[in-house]
Structure 1
Amino acid sequence: MKKTNLLLAGLLACGMASAQKIQPYGALPSKAQVVWNDMEYYMFIHFGPNTFTNKEWGHGDEDPKVFNPTRLDARQWARTAKQAGMKGIVITAKHHDGFCLWPSKYSTHTVRESAWKNGKGDVLAELSAACKEYGLKFGVYLSPWDRNHPEYGTASYNQVFANTLEEVLTSYGPVFEQWFDGANGGNIKQPYDWDLFHKVVYKHQPNAVIFSDVGPGCRWVGNENGIAGTTNWSTLNVKGFSPGAGGPPTKSLNEGNEDGEQWIPAECDVSIRPGWFYSPDTDDKVKSLNTLLDIYYGSVGRNGNLILNVPIDRDGVIHPNDSTRLMELRRTLDATFKNNLAKNAVVTATDTRKNNPEVKVAHLTDGSNATYWATPDNVTATTVKLTFKKPVTFNRVVLQEYIALGQRVKAFSVEILDNGVKKEIARETTIGHKRILRLPDYTTTEVYINISDAKAAPVISEIQLYEAPGMLATPEIRRDKEGMVTITAASADPEIHYTTDGTAPTLNSPMYTPQTEIRLPQGGTVKARAFLRKTKAASPEVKASFDVAPAKWQVVAPAAAEAAKAIDGNTATVWASDKKETQYPHQLEVDLGETLTLKGFTYTPTTNEHIGGVIYGYAFYTSTDGKSWGQPAAAGSFANIKNNPVPQTISFAPVKARFIRLVALTPATEKDNRASIAELGVITK
């Protein structure tokens, strides 16, 4: 009965009751999941006390009056999302600190107790109204972890959280997505009643898609980089798993499970900045256009939905640096997918299902994923041919399955006719809701889409070809141990111009060549842009700020030569503690070679899962003689570093020191006995 209901829901989503002639395959999406998949791209907003305290995970002990945006404008958020091409907004209504962005009657840590609008404000009310005005869907994130509520960790807390959920889900109109994570940290552990929470959601928002590691509406993709697996099934095995630490293996989250028990497609979450909450320290670290394009093609282009976090700043608006980059992305995507070349092709197929008037090859290029073409039941390998009267040049291929009847394709390839001979230009695995291939430019009169393996008769809704405009590679700026700066770009065609005085690079700024010497041993700021002189086209500006270079530094302990990799100025090299050292703590001690006034330190974790050893709990000590260390200058934990392994910046009261010691107290991953450091730095500026 459940399977039949899912089938009917999927069919209703696309209004094709006659598709019953094609037998469904495997787990199927609900109507709400089909609609959700069609959204593809929407905004995440992290906003709260952390915005004002420069923390990623607040402790719940912050004074609620710290939350005081001076000119909060939810309409600006919604307007920006709409102009960026996004279809909705999900906001952190309550993060781990327990602070509620609405005046909840179940908490005393809310906007009611804040200085904003003298406690009379309601962020959720303003945002839900703004979403309605701009035609966007509204979603909410409520963390079950609450570091403020006195009942957290007791038997009564689950009902408190359920009441809080009900309060939100009955007060602000339709909710398209309810975002949960399984965060359950700190010294208090709370057994969550997920069945209760889900019942509350479905009672009041039956069309909401619930996000978590195990859905049931959509799943975490297994990383916070926004990238799905090159193979990505929308089905997942969930028995024996739960949100958070009890979730499925990373590989399963990233790739799904072929023939998985339930339809739980991937949602790819990533922030436009290194962290999730706004920090003025990251105003110059907004992801480049090229990086955002990589993310788009690695999420939407791999059968996932992209939820891109755009944090709200301390004024209460989206920062100009973020909105500028979003508009650049929108213009590029619009230009890329403006002209579907496949519409001009004559489309034929080696195998087409007969006696079903809804199945037509013409549907493959009609621009609608509500129509489809299919093979007979006994055919799981087939070819669709696109023939053009004149040669066409393309570099993007878009394929879509009719997912209301299940995900079927296991493998496919793309060929072209090249000088009278077929030439394979791509070979991939799954398709799902949407698959986008980024290719070099190819010119041909014939394109072949070969489905080589499928779980059942392939049911394809769209085949599209596009010619994306050429992109200028964004420069990358690095500095070595001695303080020498190098600037590179993926292509040798553009000129790279740079500045070190804080001004914006232009064609009149110094040009960088491999022979250029930029020495910044004491630190400084470098800005760079790539230019095409003939067209005056320019890449986005990139900026890198450096502190003292580790030229004089030496590792005191451990004695292993490998330890020098932690201070070599190269984040691609990593020191990891000896595997034989099976117990935390681990430590690295460094002689700076001179006495400096330190104001903090930086820790860059490795992103190589095979190395591991990412540090969570830490203590940082300083010394003038390498013998007397006293109390740590800073101690704590790197919030969310397991899921978001980005460089960490920790500030402390100024202290003179020649020696530093980073002590790794606890690992980010349980049962990981190693500690590792890609780069350790100090802050003197």
Structure 2
Amino acid sequence: MKVIRIGILIFLCFWKISIFHLQAQELPKPNPAQLAWQNAELGIIFHYDLHVFDGLAYKQSKNRITPIPDIKIFNPSKLDVEQWVISAKEAGAKFALITATHETGFALYPSKANPYNTLALGWKNGKEDLLGDFIKACHKHGLKPGVYIGIRWNSYLGVHDFVVDGEGEMQLQRQRYYNNMVEEMVKEICTWYGPLFEIWFDGGASHPEKGAPDVLPIVKKYQPECLFYHNDQLAEARWGGSESGTVNYPCWSNFPFHFTGSGESAPREIWKDGYKLLKTGDPNGKYFMPAMADAPLRGDNGRHEWFWEPNDEHSIYSLDKLVDIYHKSVGRNATLVLGVTPDTAGLVPHSDRKRMQEFGQHISNMYREPIVTSNQSKNQLTFKKQHPVKHIMLREDISEGQKIRSFRIQEQSNGKWTDIYQGSSIGNKHLIILENPVPTKVLRIIIDHAVGKPKLLTFNAYENLQNNP
């Protein structure tokens, strides 16, 4: 019996390690959730909260500490979360997230743990559930559902950076109450709505050793296949270092830490030099941790708006800028998440939705049809006639890790091979836009350095796609 007990303890020890840490490996490999998340490439996150309805300009520093005095200002006249999901699909997204809670602390579902929720509005006999309806709509329209949970700030309960305001025993009791409330909310979200694609904690979820709610074991117990993003114990994806929607090139899916922290609470190696490590990753990192590039759709002309404000349509990114963001995120081995905000009617505004439709159609058109080839191998493309190649798409099989470290693209003219591009990271996808079109009948890729035996999934060439309808 003693031997059995020791064996059980050893098993439980390794089981706990596997939950709380990514596995350090010589060549890190993605788990199923990470692989699915990178393959998805594009998601939309919908930001919605009480202060959308207050008629005031959103100011983060104020909204994080100022309670909304009247919960019933939350009264969208034409609420339709299915319209949100359809707009995400029109943009080309494969997954969508909703802010179940944000900085006000208000929950968009009838939580039993958090009394500050839609139940208090009295709609549908107290059964209004934006979160549940959103997840149902995602399933209906073929998008993978995810949830954003804001627990770092809560203006209603006086929580700032996970700490409840107050002193002495009163503060300790309120902190215990808040932590328990959050943990019960996370359990509700993980058990009420079926499988989730991603759970995103606003600014991370800190660490229970710092006095914060202990959410990681809850997510791993009830949503084991869900991407966890993130806390001081684990990050299955990493923030790309800015809210510009772009990452640096190269951008590696490997990282030297199994977590990222938040701001300067992270190790100095992460936040120094303007978060350079988050933006680039580390090809020799021991943990697989792909990058997320995020940006609000209303981020143009000096604006950066995650929440709806009136008369702000001029801040919607132009189509050209969105396409550029796509190439500098998805095209650099990151997953792009665009922030969209429904208005006071409860709908994605017409101008925002129109731009999303244009963006989705444009990207689909750009990469719908590569140049037709008569002879195609994994490393060489041979065309029937000469074509002016402008765009190239590369994808490697990352299921066993990101292996390619450097490569060249060459074209053949008069029996001579000439380099037309040199690169390093490929990963899930690398999109190349040549400065000038290269007329050629033959292209090949030379992999100069790799770890292990790499496998290309895609090597496509396209003519100038900029003006495609």
Residue 143 of structure 1 is matched in structure 2 by 150
Q: Which residue of the partner structure matches residue 262 of structure 1? A: 287
Find the residue that maps to 1:405 and give its secondary structure.
Answer: coil
Identity of aligned residues (%): 30
Whether contact under 8 Å (2:113, 2:185) holds in the other structure is yes
Q: How far did residue 119 of structure 1 move? A: 4.9
Which structure carries more relative contact order (alpha carbon 8 Å, separation 6+)? 2
Instruction: Specify whether residues 213 and 164 from structure 1 end up closer, same or farther in structure 2 by C-alpha distance, changes over 3 A only.
Output: closer
Q: Which secondary structure state, in structure 2, belongs to the residue aligned with residue 425 of structure 1?
A: strand
Q: Are the aligned partners of 1:221 and 1:268 in contact in 2 as well (CA < 8 Å)? A: yes
Structure showing greater Rg = 1
CA 1:394–1:107 in 2, change beyond 3 Å: closer, same or farther? same
Pick closer, same or farther for the CA change 1:397–1:126 going to 2, 3 Å. Answer: same
Partner residue in 2 for 1:403: 398
Q: Does 1:252 align with 2:277?
A: yes
Residue 206 of structure 1 corresponds to 224
Of residues 166-175 and 420-429 in structure 1, the stretch that sits farther from structure 2 once superposed is 420-429
1:450 aligns with 2:456: no
> Equivalent residue for 2:359?
329
Match of 1:26 in 2: 27
Unaligned runs of 5+ in 1: 7-23, 348-361, 365-383, 473-536, 538-685
Which among 314, 318, 321 is matched to residue 291 of structure 1? 321
Q: Which residue of 2 aligns with 1:314?
A: 344
Which residue of the partner structure matches residue 210 of structure 2? 191
Query: Is residue 220–residue 253 contact of structure 1 (8 Å, CA) maintained in 2?
Result: yes
Measured after TM superposition, the shift of residue 130 of structure 1 is: 0.9
Q: How does 1:299-448 map to 2 (within 5 A)?
A: 299-341=329-371, 344-347=373-376, 362=377, 364=378, 384-418=379-413, 421-439=416-434, 440-448=436-444
| Preserved CA contact (<8 Å) 1:25 1:456 | no
3-state SS of paired residue (2:331): coil
Offset from partner CA, 1:301-322 (integer Å, 9 cap, x none):
0111111111111100001111
Q: Write the distance in 2 (CA, Å) between the matches of 1:327 and 1:406.
A: 34
Q: Any conservation in 2 of the 1:181–1:243 contact (CA below 8 Å)?
A: no
Q: List runs of 5+ in structure 2 lacking aligned partners.
A: 1-10, 19-24, 165-171, 299-303
**Matching residue's letter, 1:131:** C
| SS of corresponding position for 1:430 | coil
SS in 1 for 2:317: coil
Gap change, CA 1:71 and 1:201, over 3 Å in 2: same
Relative to structure 1, is the Cα distance of residues 25 and 386 closer, same or farther in structure 2, using a 3 angstrom cutoff? farther
User: Contact between 2:92 and 2:360, CA under 8 Å: does it hold in 1?
Assistant: yes
**1:498 alignment counterpart:** none
Aligned residue in 2 for 1:225: 244
Match of 2:49, SS state, is coil
TM-score (norm. length: structure 1): 0.57
* AA of the residue aligned to 2:40: M
Q: Distance in 2 between matches of 1:235 and 1:193?
A: 28
Between the aligned partners of 1:302 and 1:470, the Cα distance in structure 2 is 19
Separation (CA, whole Å) in 1 of partners of 2:338 and 2:328: 13
Query: C-alpha displacement at 1:457, in angstroms?
Result: 2.7
Is the 8 Å Cα contact of residues 337 and 468 (structure 1) preserved in structure 2? no
Are residues 1:68 and 2:75 paired? yes
Q: Residues 325-380 of structure 1, C-alpha deviation per residue, up to 9 Å, x if partnerless?
A: 11111221121111122x61524xxxxxxxxxxxxxx4x3xxxxxxxxxxxxxxxx
- Residue 467 of structure 1 aligns with which residue? 463
Root-mean-square deviation over aligned CA pairs: 2.8
Indicate the residue corresponding to 1:101 in structure 2: 108
Distance 2:385 2:353 in 1: 40
| Distance (Å, rounded) in 1 between the aligned partners of 2:44 and 2:320 | 19
The aligned counterpart of 1:179 is 200
- Aligned mates of 2:217, 2:205 — CA distance in 1: 21
Q: Distance in 1 between matches of 2:142 and 2:438?
A: 38
* TM-superposed deviation, 1:50: 2.4
CA distance change for structure 1 residues 241 and 291 in 2, over 3 Å: closer, same or farther? Answer: closer
Q: TM-score, normalised by structure 2?
A: 0.82
Q: What are the residue-to-residue correspondences of 1:144-163 with 2, within 5 Å?
A: 144-145=151-152, 146-149=154-157, 153=164, 154=172, 155-156=175-176, 157-163=178-184
State the distance in 2 between where 1:340 and 1:402 align: 20
The CA distance in 1 between the partners of 2:27 and 2:141, in whole Å, is 37
Separation in structure 2 between the aligned mates of residue 290 and residue 148 of structure 1, nearest angstrom: 40
Is the 8 Å Cα contact of residues 319 and 358 (structure 2) preserved in structure 1?
yes
Give the distance between the partners of 1:136 and 1:240, measured in 2 at CA: 27
Question: Alpha-carbon deviations, 1:56-86, whole Å to 9, x = none?
Answer: 5323510211211111001111111222221
CA distance in 1, matches of 2:259, 2:408: 36
- Flag the 1:447–1:308 CA change in 2: closer, same or farther, 3 A: same
Paired with 1:232 and 1:179, the residues of 2 have a C-alpha distance of: 21
Q: d(CA) in 1 for partners of 2:389 and 2:458?
A: 16
Counterpart in 1 of 2:49? Answer: 48
Q: 1:241 to 1:339 in 2, by over 3 A?
A: closer
Moved more, 71-80 or 233-242: 233-242
How far is 1:158 from its partner? 2.5
For the residue of structure 1 that corresponds to 2:315, the secondary structure is coil
* TM superposition shift of 1:102: 0.9
Within-5 A mapping of 1:230-245 = 230-238=249-257, 241-245=260-264
* Count of aligned positions: 416
SS in 2 for 1:281: coil
